[in-house]
Amino acid sequence: MSISIAELRGVTKKYQVGETEILALNNVYFNVTKGDFIVVAGPSGSGKSTFLNILGSIDKPTSGNIIFNGSDITHVNLEALHQLRLNKIGFVFQSFNLVPVLTAYENVELPLLFKNISKKEIKERVTTVLEKSRTSRQNGSFACKAIRRTEATCCNSQSIGGKSGIDHRRRTNCQP
């Protein structure tokens, strides 16, 4: 039996732009289980970012439910969502969202400063990630190797091969 990590149940997201209502997601059902490797691909404007923002608890749906590790997080308060994102969900953004006035070391260190971990462990993690970054850039796998200790990772990148919609590629040997 697969362990469900994140789930969307009947999620709809609507945006109001002036007098026009934009339907970004319509009654989406989706499930991520431990070991899944999932690609979300599609053209600009197809709802990929909205989908990932809702799945990663950055945004809330207009209707439907978000389940994370068996708990409905649809209506939890902002502090609980902050703790969830800090401790359970990893993000890789298309534009990397780096703080321009910080060094590479400081950008990697920043989210760790909000966790209850020692300065020594922070230094070890940052150094490890930066070393992996240096060696992994050559084979394009920096993001996959750098992200650790999260239960789910939401990546936002441009469409792959012109495909539209959600492409599930499951690998049973993939570690979350």
Whether residue 34 is found in the same domain as residue 82: yes
Whether residue 64 is found in the same domain as residue 8: yes
Rounded Cα gap, residues 138 and 132, in angstroms: 10
Whether residue 48 is found in the same domain as residue 116: no
Q: Indicate the range of 22-26, 29-33, 148-152, 163-167 predicted with least confidence.
A: 163-167
Whether residue 82 is found in the same domain as residue 115: no
What band does 133 get if pLDDT is binned at 50, 70 and 90? confident
Whether residue 127 is found in the same domain as residue 114: yes
Is residue 37 scored above 90 in pLDDT? no
Instruction: Count up the domains in the chain and report the number.
Output: 2
CATH number of the structural domain spanning residue 41? 3.40.50.300
Whether residue 2 is found in the same domain as residue 83: yes
Whether residue 56 is found in the same domain as residue 110: no
The answer to whether residue 117 is domain-embedded is yes
The answer to whether residue 28 is domain-embedded is yes
Q: Determine the pLDDT at residue 3.
A: 85
48-102 confidence digits (pLDDT tens): 989 999 999 989 999 999 999 999 999 999 999 988 988 888 777 667 678 889 8
Whether residue 58 is found in the same domain as residue 107: no
Task: Give the mean model confidence (pLDDT) for residues 153-157.
Answer: 49
The answer to whether residue 96 is domain-embedded is yes
Whether residue 95 is found in the same domain as residue 32: no
Whether residue 82 is found in the same domain as residue 123: no
The answer to whether residue 65 is domain-embedded is yes
The answer to whether residue 163 is domain-embedded is yes
Q: Which domain holds residue 126?
A: 89-149
Whether residue 98 is found in the same domain as residue 80: no
Whether residue 21 is found in the same domain as residue 70: yes
The answer to whether residue 154 is domain-embedded is no
